[in-house]
Structure 1
């Protein structure tokens, strides 16, 4: 059918409830609207509406055509909005929530990069490991990592990347000791590990057969703060398992070397969580796309 203008004229009349009302709301003369609908009915071979001097109603077919016409109009509006956004510049305040770990290790730096790219954007970053009521606290976007799918009735959880741990050591350390070829050989290296309470957190790996393997490091340096672990790594103090996002720059420059890559640790999913798909601010949508690019390793 090559009569989209006629179809939109029909939709305007149907939505307005008559030709006179459509003329008042659109400014298009009702005689022109009538001609367009007559042409559409002729092409389709069906009557879309019934009217008299006292009544106006859609036929059953007209009601169905109206629903399809509405869907087409909505898609056309979405295309226009997409083009307008592509030509616009993100601006305004974005309230972001994240865990302490994510915020300290990499998210704050990525947000600074985002603001450098879009100078009209301002960001308020709230770091907390506690539950956040996004609606009550007017949070625009939350970043969370979970091994299980996230779901909430009043929130949208969009996967934007994969978070995984990597086993790394400083280049100079690997040059002196050589790279380990198995988990058993890790005992010959100085190790750096995270503590939770009074316990050293075990390292998780996934073997070639897909089964999870746990290794309890006998660490030379321990801390409950991953920033401290990263600094110890960069200082050449040992080998550690830390989030990939926390050391991606050092891996790219070669300062840190990934070890035992065949025993990749189990991965978790990184989610961008926001209140609703409808009415999502352009700046927030742009930030989500930017973070997805970063989590997926984009430059």
Structure 2
């Protein structure tokens, strides 16, 4: 079979798997237009229509479904052949695409990535540092690191706890001088709380009196932000009480820029998750990076 014909088939499979020409083309390094033209050439060569297209939706025709099933069998055979070699060598290679929380990614993942790339010279990395929750499949990421991710209901994804971090209720001395220091969970109701909020999720504070059960706290919120670092800056500026990870504010606590509050309460340890697309054979580049995170972080909480 000609290489051009294989490229057309790969374009078809990628578009079907991703559910759109944009995402399917991006996964192969193609524009939407190039992916559409590749599919059109494939349909012309086969003499059948493989996809029904509307402005908002793609679906397989009957012929497309049969062709897709045969292609899956061929790709599974190729996966098996590649795995038979890859499992012996275990050598990571290719481009590792990551999406990471902005602050945690810079402070904790980037140093690991430096060591990983030094160890495996056949790997390149593309990294997005953002507190936005990316669609891993749609945007073509190999791996996401997420903090306190909700339970995963997407069967296309697999999650694994790689570490835990402690969270701390804190505020700046300037805020406490002006508004007073809360002594109980109930008193948070009359304070300005700095809440993480984005289009996809809103933060809830989980606290408990020592020896008691956990309570979900929702204080009054006049300022909501979609960045952990922005919340830290707002807290230091005296704009309210924050609920932040220790890795982000340890230096502020040590210097006195922030003060830990509610000593009679305990905060939860929050899981740090590695989330990745479910595959029968996880690529060595992904598996080795997950193993590195577990190796470096499992013995301690951040």
TM-score (norm 1): 0.49
Of the two, which has the highest radius of gyration? 1
